[in-house]
Structures are given as structure tokens and as C-alpha cells.
């Protein structure tokens, strides 16, 4: 069989994008005299919090002989490696002490760095900027600042509530992301008696437009199928409700629903941990139900249900993906997934050539599907 007679293979490439901010951990998992071990893009990290509460992220391997610094001692400012006692500043990674040196040995220890990464904490999460991989064997130098601030959950009033959910997914970041933007699985995966049955499947039409590094499902009155929408309808008449969903590289899904002075927004990320494992984190903010004690629990319940259904589905899917099956993406339901791969490829190509990124969406487009 020749290549042309086969449908185009559209397999995720599992490439991870460096040079972006990623959610590392929920902030409450980090504190005290302990460095929390974690991983982003196959990069081992030791995350800590200094005496003033500021989070930092170090490469979790001592520049001397590779002992994970997360096994070391932390005094609130400096980390002491558990193997030979070298000490490093938590924020800069700069070496401050090598106990084995004698007074006449003039090694310039301040030129030695444990790798450190730009680190910010927002909306209950610690974010880490993962830079382009350094050339192999280059060693660590002083960390450079991130070129942009970490993403935030959009908010539209001074007072609001915030909650998050997190789940590990046993698949590559690409399957995690296209699973997130896929509209056609809804009636089959997200069934619940209080939500919808598969018989409620109907034709939908949505407008999309290109935005920098991503695409937007344009502001529209939601037809029926976003989780907080049914709840918002208790507060405002259906026509005044608008929702916008953005996808932005490398892994951000922003949903904003507004109904008069009420709003709900969420920032969902699918973070590559390794090539074959990712994590989904949903952080939501809202100013509805603030007076209602059960409101947040209700929202969390609805979201937890959805995320768990997706997680289970992807766990089952990973059995099928293990042996590298042939995959295909169809129009229009899988078009957002195609755009995602297009954006990724365009981003990498622009990086390679140093030129402008060629956006895969030339302009606004309407997609139709049944879900």
C-alpha cells in the first residue's frame, strides 16, 4: 500500500513546548522545612517556600554529583545537599558553601549554580517557567527572568470565590488537550441524570476566530452544555448570558461566562509531566453564589464529576494507544484538535526560523457538529 491511499496520519507527536509557564503544584502542598518533589516536561523540580512565604523552584539534582536536592535540608533560605553538604540559595540556586574546601583552596563557589526556575504563585497554584533546554552538559548558570508573567484566571469583580480540581491523566499532553477541546464526546462520556442523556444530542454551530497563539470560540449565548450555565440561568435571563472559550498555547483553556454583574471564569491547563503522562488542573473563579453556603460545593461537585469522567475515559483510551494505533481526525468535530497541532507546529517552525508565526486559522470560521 502506498502512503497516498491511506488517510493522513494525525498522530499526536507528544512534543513538549519549552519556553512557557506551567502549573507545577497546588500552593498548599509546599511549605515548612521541606522541598516538594515534582516534575514538569521531564524536568525534575524541588519546590520550596522561603521564610517569607515566597515560593521557589530548583532543579532537583545537585550540580555536584546529582543527588536530588529535595532530599536535602532546608532552613527557610538555603538548601543543603544531603550528600556532601553543598549549600545553595533557594531562589537563585547560587552556591554559598562547599564544606570540603580548605582555607587555601580558592574555588570560586559563587560561580556554581543549582538550576533555578522563575516561579510565581497565583490562584492557589505555583507556576514555574520552563525555559528552552540548555545545550547538553552546559551546566547551570544564573537563572534568567521569564519573558512574560504567568497566566491568571480572569476575574471581573473585586470579591469572588476560587476553587480548584486536579487529576492525573495517563496520556501524553496532546491527548489530554485534544480530549479537552473535543465537543463530540459529551453525550457519550458526560452523561448523568441531572445533566443530560445521550438522546439530547443535536446539531450545533459555533463561530471561531484566531487570537494570538490560539483560537477563540466567539462570545455567544450558550445553547446548553457548559457546566455553570444551567446554574447561571437561575440568576439572569438566558439572552443576557454570554460565554467565550479561548485556547492558547501551550496548554491553556479559558472559559468566561458573563450574565450581567455575575460571572464565572475558569483556567484549565493540561500540563506535560512526562511524554506519556500529564495532569489536568481546573481553577475556577466566580461571584455567583457567594452568599449561598452550598454554591461552591455544588460547582465543585459538577466539575469533579466532569473531570473524573474525562480522567476515566483517558485511562481506558491509554490502553488502546499503547500499541500506536492508526488515528484520524475528522471535520468539523475534530477541527479544533487539528488547529492545536497546527498551532504547535507553527510555533516550533517560527522558533526554528526566527520568523513570524504562521497562524493555522486565516480568519473567522464556523464549525458544525452534533453533540
DSSP string across 142-163: PPPPPSSPPP-----SSS-EEE
Give min distance, CB of 253 to Fe ion, in A.
11
Give min distance, CB of 84 to ligand FES, in A.
3
Residue environment code for 114-137, b if the CB has 16+ CB neighbours within 10 A, otherwise e: bbbbbbbbbbbbbbbbbbeeeeee
Using CA atoms, how far apart are residues 191 and 187, in angstroms rounded to an integer? 6
**Residues touching Fe ion, count (CB under 5 A):** 1
Task: Figure out which of the listed residues 20, 21, 22, 86 binds ligand FES, where binding follows CB under 6 A.
Answer: 86
Give min distance, CB of 62 to ligand FES, in A.
3
Residue 80 is a binding residue for Fe ion (CB under 5 A): no
Whether 77 contacts 90, CB under 8 Å: yes
18 binds, among ligand FES, Fe ion, none (CB under 5 to 8 A by kind): none
Task: Figure out which of the listed residues 33, 54, 65, 370 binds ligand FES, where binding follows CB under 6 A.
Answer: 65
Residue 333 is a binding residue for ligand FES (CB under 6 A): no
Using CA atoms, how far apart are residues 271 and 266, in angstroms rounded to an integer? 16
Residue 257 is a binding residue for ligand FES (CB under 6 A): no
Residue 67 is a binding residue for ligand FES (CB under 6 A): yes
Give min distance, CB of 73 to ligand FES, in A.
12
Residue 140 is a binding residue for ligand FES (CB under 6 A): no
Sign of CA dihedral 212, 213, 215, 221: negative
Give min distance, CB of 110 to ligand FES, in A.
16
Give min distance, CB of 339 to Fe ion, in A.
18
Give min distance, CB of 365 to Fe ion, in A.
23
Residue 310 is a binding residue for Fe ion (CB under 5 A): yes
**Residues touching ligand FES, count (CB under 6 A):** 8
Give min distance, CB of 135 to ligand FES, in A.
22
Using CA atoms, how far apart are residues 124 and 32, in angstroms rounded to an integer? 17
Question: Which single residue brings its beta carbon nearest to Fe ion?
Answer: 310
Closer by beta carbon to Fe ion, 155 or else 309: 309
65 binds, among Fe ion, ligand FES, none (CB under 5 to 8 A by kind): ligand FES
Residue 64 is a binding residue for ligand FES (CB under 6 A): yes
310 binds, among Fe ion, ligand FES, none (CB under 5 to 8 A by kind): Fe ion
Task: With both helix axes pointing from N to C terminus, report the angle between 335-353 and 173-181 in degrees, rounded to the nearest 10.
Answer: 130
Residue 81 is a binding residue for ligand FES (CB under 6 A): yes
Task: Figure out which of the listed residues 25, 62, 95, 288 binds ligand FES, where binding follows CB under 6 A.
Answer: 62
Q: What nine digits make up the cell of 262? A: 455575575
332 binds, among ligand FES, Fe ion, none (CB under 5 to 8 A by kind): none
Using CA atoms, how far apart are residues 213 and 249, in angstroms rounded to an integer? 6
Using CA atoms, how far apart are residues 256 and 241, in angstroms rounded to an integer? 10
**Hey, what's the torsion of the CAs at 340, 345, 351, 354, to 10 degrees?**
-110
Q: CB atoms < 10 A from the CB of 113, how many?
A: 20
Closer by beta carbon to Fe ion, 78 or else 371: 371
DSSP string across 267-335: EEEEEEEETTEEEEEEEEEESSSTT-TTHHHHHHHHHHHHHHHHHHHHHHHHHHHTT-------TTTTH
Q: What nine digits make up the cell of 330? A: 475528522
Interface residues with ligand FES (CB under 6 A) are 62, 64-65, 67, 81, 83-84, 86
Interface residues with Fe ion (CB under 5 A) are 310
Amino acid at each position: 500500500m502506498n502512503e497516498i491511499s491511506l488517510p493522513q496520519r494525525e498522530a499526536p507527536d507528544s512534543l513538549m513546548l519549552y519556553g512557557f509557564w506551567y502549573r507545577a503544584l497546588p500552593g498548599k502542598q509546599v511549605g515548612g522545612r521541606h522541598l516538594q518533589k515534582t516534575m514538569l516536561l521531564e524536568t525534575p523540580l524541588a519546590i520550596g517556600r522561603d521564610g517569607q512565604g515566597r515560593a521557589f523552584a530548583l532543579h532537583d539534582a545537585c550540580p555536584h554529583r546529582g543527588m536530588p536536592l529535595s532530599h536535602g535540608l532546608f532552613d527557610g533560605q538555603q538548601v543543603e545537599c544531603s550528600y556532601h553538604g553543598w549549600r545553595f540559595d533557594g531562589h537563585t540556586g547560587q552556591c554559598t558553601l562547599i564544606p570540603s574546601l580548605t582555607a587555601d583552596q580558592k574555588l570560586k563557589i559563587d560561580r556554581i549554580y543549582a538550576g533555578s526556575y522563575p516561579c510565581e504563585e497565583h490562584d492557589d497554584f505555583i507556576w514555574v517557567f520552563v525555559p528552552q533546554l540548555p545545550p547538553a552538559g552546559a551546566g547551570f548558570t544564573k537563572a534568567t527572568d521569564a519573558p512574560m508573567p504567568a497566566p491568571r484566571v480572569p476575574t471581573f469583580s473585586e470579591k469572588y470565590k476560587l476553587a480548584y480540581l486536579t487529576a492525573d491523566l495517563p496520556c501524553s499532553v496532546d491527548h489530554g488537550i485534544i480530549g479537552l477541546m473535543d465537543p463530540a464526546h459529551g453525550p457519550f462520556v458526560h452523561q448523568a441524570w441531572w445533566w443530560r442523556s445521550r438522546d439530547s444530542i443535536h446539531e450545533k454551530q459555533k463561530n471561531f476566530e484566531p487570537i494570538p497563539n490560539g483560537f477563540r470560540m466567539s462570545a455567544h449565548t450558550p445553547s446548553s452544555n457548559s457546566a455553570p450555565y444551567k446554574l447561571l440561568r437561575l440568576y439572569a435571563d438566558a439572552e443576557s448570558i454570554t460565554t467565550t472559550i479561548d485556547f492558547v498555547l501551550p496548554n491553556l483553556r479559558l472559559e468566561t461566562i458573563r450574565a450581567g454583574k455575575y460571572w464565572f471564569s475558569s483556567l484549565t491547563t493540561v500540563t506535560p509531566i512526562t511524554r506519556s503522562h500529564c495532569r489536568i488542573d481546573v481553577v475556577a473563579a466566580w461571584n455567583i453564589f457567594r452568599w449561598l453556603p452550598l454554591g461552591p460545593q455544588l460547582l465543585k461537585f459538577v466539575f469533579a464529576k466532569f473531570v473524573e469522567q474525562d480522567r476515566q475515559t483517558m485511562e481506558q483510551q491509554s490502553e488502546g494507544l499503547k500499541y500506536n494505533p492508526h488515528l484520524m481526525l475528522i471535520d468539523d468535530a475534530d477541527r479544533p484538535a487539528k488547529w492545536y497541532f497546527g498551532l504547535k507546529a507553527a510555533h516550533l517552525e517560527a522558533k526554528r526560523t526566527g520568523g513570524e508565526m504562521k497562524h493555522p486559522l486565516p480568519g473567522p470560521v464556523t464549525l458544525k457538529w452534533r453533540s
